[in-house]
Amino acid sequence: MTRALDVARRALEATTGEAEAVAQAETSGLARFAASEVHQPTLIDNVVVTLRIVRDGRTGVASTNRVDDAGLVELARRAEEAADSAPVDPDFPGLAERGELPRVEGYDRATSELGPDDQARLASDAIAAADVPTYGFFTSAVSELAIVSSTGVEAHQEMTDATTLVVAADNGCSGYAEATSWRAGAIDPAAVAREAAEKAARTNGAKEIEPGRYPAVLEPYAFADLLQYFSYDSFGALGLLEERGYFAGRLGQRVFDERISIADDALDPSGLPKSFDFEGSPKQRVELVTNGVARGVVWDRTTAKRAGEGAKTTGHALPQDLDDWGPLPSALTVAGGDAESTDELVELVGDGLYITRLHYLGVVHPREGVVTGMTRDGTFRIRDGKIAEPLVNLRFTVAVPELLREVHGLTRDVSLINASNFYGERYPYGALVPAVATARFNVSGVGSAPGI
């Protein structure tokens, strides 16, 4: 029996009546480097169990990583106290019933067996491959999610993940690359570092441009980041119900260019697959946008009950400590287009901007999908259908729907972009996206030159 499942079962046994136990376990190593030297190597080993107890329609939740018998008894006491103190929740849909869970990939034994020596070695591989100072990390982990409940749910998934991220930077230049997979063997840290270094070498002598609206090519790193921020308000049911998201009142309407189709698909083996959500409900592929038309959002059991009218969970509940966000996508996937490469998108744009990645995004106006941020680590001018001179970091303020309303093209290939910054308990997730060429990228200011 695995660690998380064992802990979840024992937590459930520590109480009586209606209850659900969710356990997450993590064994991870992250070798972080700066100036081509590993400086923050961190090994984490933890297991956390969250017990939700239901008493006559009132719910209470408590968590602990003290998973001996005494710790679990105390956990149950705290959860019971919380439940006894809460008023009846009319929106509580009850605990999930046992359902058929999809079988997914996402576990690789070789990745799970990587230890500190391997993680340090793979970080060193990245460092050694670049002729520019490198900043980044290699990390790998095995993590588990287990859910058991008094209503018969018994779900368990063991996951692996690995990521190499490299910023290659020196005075006046910087480049970026990353690779993520649930199979560490699919990642070549040296190749990632070379991609970042090659990009950095082309950013020396960056120029400023005038603010204004430009056509632009966004690499998958940039596109994934932008979509992720848009998704917080617009792709989840809570944003819809609270009229906060862009899709409120627009479902069924044409909102984007017809080339844009977006789904959330945690079942896709080329992503970071998941079988079920944090309520134990099976993951479903959800069509969010089809050929530019807003089709739907993701749901959990609570928002589905609140909405009524036949709404059902799509398997997108978050952990209890994050559930005030409501259900959110964790496996965005954007359909690829016809372009064979980003070079082809650059040709389509002709005259515009080329953007590698974004930095420190913020939602300015959620209802209109307005997001601001900076470009970083590889921003260029496009002239005559080719990447031309490097540019300083640019401040952008874009309405995502407007950016996606007029699209010149998308690459056929999609890339898996890691979306986790590894806060809290490890739960690998990311987005599968192509590069995109848009007619409308609004530059609202200029910033500093690239480089360290």
Partner 1 sequence: MRDLCAAAVDAATGAGAEYADARAVVRRSQRLSTKNGRVEQLTDTESEGIGVRVLVDGAWGFACDRRLTAEGASDAALRACAFAKAAGGRGARALAPLAAQTGSYRTTYERDPFSVSIADKVEHCLRADEALNGRDVIVRQASLRALREHKILLSSEGTDVEQETVECGGGLDCAAAGDGIYQVRSYPSASVGMSQQRGWEFVEQLGLEREAPRVAEQASALLRADLCPAKVTTLVLDSDQTALQVHESVGHPTELDRVYGTEASYAGTSFLHAADLGSLRYGSEHMNVTADSTTPGGLGTFGFDDEGVPASRHPIVEAGVLAGFLTSRETAARIGSGHGGSMRADGWNRMPLVRMTNLHLDPGEGTLEDLLADVDDGIYMETNKSWSIDDKRLNFQFGTQIAWEIKSGKLGRMLRDATYTGITPEFWGKLDAVAGADAWQMQGITNCGKGQPGQGAHVSHGASPARFRDVQVGVKA
Question: Please, which of residues 169-188 interact with partner 1 by CB under 8 A?
Answer: 169
The answer to whether residue 165 forms part of the interface with partner 1 (CB under 8 A) is yes
* Least distance (Å) between residue 92 CB and partner 1: 8
**β-strand pairing of 262-264 with 212-218:** unpaired
The answer to whether residue 367 forms part of the interface with partner 1 (CB under 8 A) is yes
What gap in Å lies between CA 335 and CA 432, rounded to an integer?
A: 9
DSSP state of 302: H
Q: Give the 3-state secondary structure of residue 197.
A: helix
What gap in Å lies between CA 181 and CA 177, rounded to an integer?
A: 14
The answer to whether residue 149 forms part of the interface with partner 1 (CB under 8 A) is no
Which member of 15, 24, 111, 139 binds partner 1 (CB under 8 A)? Answer: 139
* Least distance (Å) between residue 338 CB and partner 1: 28
Nearer to partner 1, 66 or 312 (CB): 66
Question: Is the CB of residue 220 less than 8 Å from the CB of residue 435?
Answer: yes
The answer to whether residue 136 forms part of the interface with partner 1 (CB under 8 A) is yes
Check the CA dihedral 317-323-325-330 and report its sign.
negative
Question: Is the CB of residue 394 less than 8 Å from the CB of residue 422?
Answer: no
The answer to whether residue 236 forms part of the interface with partner 1 (CB under 8 A) is no
Nearer to partner 1, 77 or 98 (CB): 77
Nearer to partner 1, 107 or 137 (CB): 137
* Least distance (Å) between residue 372 CB and partner 1: 5
Determine the interface stretch with partner 1 among 98-106, 264-272, 309-317, 398-406 (rule: CB under 8 A): 398-406
Question: Is the CB of residue 149 less than 8 Å from the CB of residue 12?
Answer: yes
Check the CA dihedral 9-11-17-19 and report its sign.
negative
Nearer to partner 1, 77 or 386 (CB): 77
Interface mask toward partner 1 for 332-361; x: CB under 8 A: ---------------------------xxx
Check the CA dihedral 332-336-341-342 and report its sign.
negative
Picking from 336, 339, 355, the residue whose alpha carbon sits closest to that of residue 218 is 355
Token representation of residue 243? 């009229």
Which member of 349, 399, 431, 439 binds partner 1 (CB under 8 A)? Answer: 399
Q: Note the residue count of the chain.
A: 452
> How many degrees, rounded to 5, is the angle at CA 91 between CA 86 and CA 96?
95
Which member of 320, 330, 356, 379 binds partner 1 (CB under 8 A)? Answer: 320
The terminus-to-terminus CA distance of the chain in angstroms comes to: 48
Q: By rule CB under 8 A, what count of residues binds partner 1?
A: 95
The answer to whether residue 135 forms part of the interface with partner 1 (CB under 8 A) is yes
What gap in Å lies between CA 366 and CA 234, rounded to an integer?
A: 8
The answer to whether residue 2 forms part of the interface with partner 1 (CB under 8 A) is no
Nearer to partner 1, 131 or 208 (CB): 208
Residue type, 306: R
The answer to whether residue 402 forms part of the interface with partner 1 (CB under 8 A) is yes
Interface mask toward partner 1 for 411-450; x: CB under 8 A: ----------xxxx-----------------x-xxxxx--
**Exposure string (b/e) for 395-408, b if CB count within 10 Å is 16 or more?**
ebbbbbbbbbbebb
Nearer to partner 1, 165 or 218 (CB): 165
Interface mask toward partner 1 for 9-48; x: CB under 8 A: -------------------xxxxxxxx-xxxxxxxxxxxx
Interface mask toward partner 1 for 57-96; x: CB under 8 A: --xxxxxxxx-----------xx-xx-xxxx-xxx-----
Question: Is the CB of residue 53 less than 8 Å from the CB of residue 15?
Answer: yes
The answer to whether residue 210 forms part of the interface with partner 1 (CB under 8 A) is no
